[in-house]
Amino acid sequence: MPVYKWQRRPTKHFGPVWFPIARLDLEATSGQFHRIALQIDSGAVVSLLRNSMAVLLAVPLESGQKIDLTSVGGASTKAYVHTIRTQFDERLIGNVRFAIAESEQVPNLLGRLDVFDNLQIDFDSTLAHTILSPRWLDEGDKRLWDALCGASERVAQGWSENPLPVPGDEAGKQLLRRGGQLFATAATMMKSSCTWDAPLVVRAMFEVSVQFEYLLQLPAERGKLFLEYSKVTKHRNSKRIADNPQGPIGRHIANSPMRTEGEIRNQQEFDAVAAQFQRGKKKSDLWDAWYCKSFADLTQEFGKRGEYDIWYKLAAGWAHGDPFATQRVAPFPGSGIQTLFQACLHFHGRMLYLAAEAKKIILESEQYELLKACLHKLD
> What are the pLDDT digits (tens) for 19-39?
999 999 999 999 999 999 999
pLDDT of residue 73: 58
pTM, entire model: 0.85
- The domain locations on the chain are 3-134, 139-227+293-373
Q: What is the percent of the chain with per-residue pLDDT over 90, rounded to a whole number?
A: 65
User: Mean pLDDT throughout 74-101?
Assistant: 89
**pLDDT by residue (tens digit) across 215-262?**
999 999 999 999 999 999 999 988 888 888 887 877 777 788 888 888
What are the φ and ψ backbone dihedral angles of 339, each rounded to 5 degrees? -60, -45
Question: Which fold does the domain 3-134 belong to in CATH?
Answer: Cathepsin D, subunit A; domain 1 (2.40.70)
Around Cβ 2, how many Cβ atoms within 10 Å?
17
Of 5-14, 64-73, 170-179, 289-298, where does mean pLDDT reach its minimum? Answer: 64-73
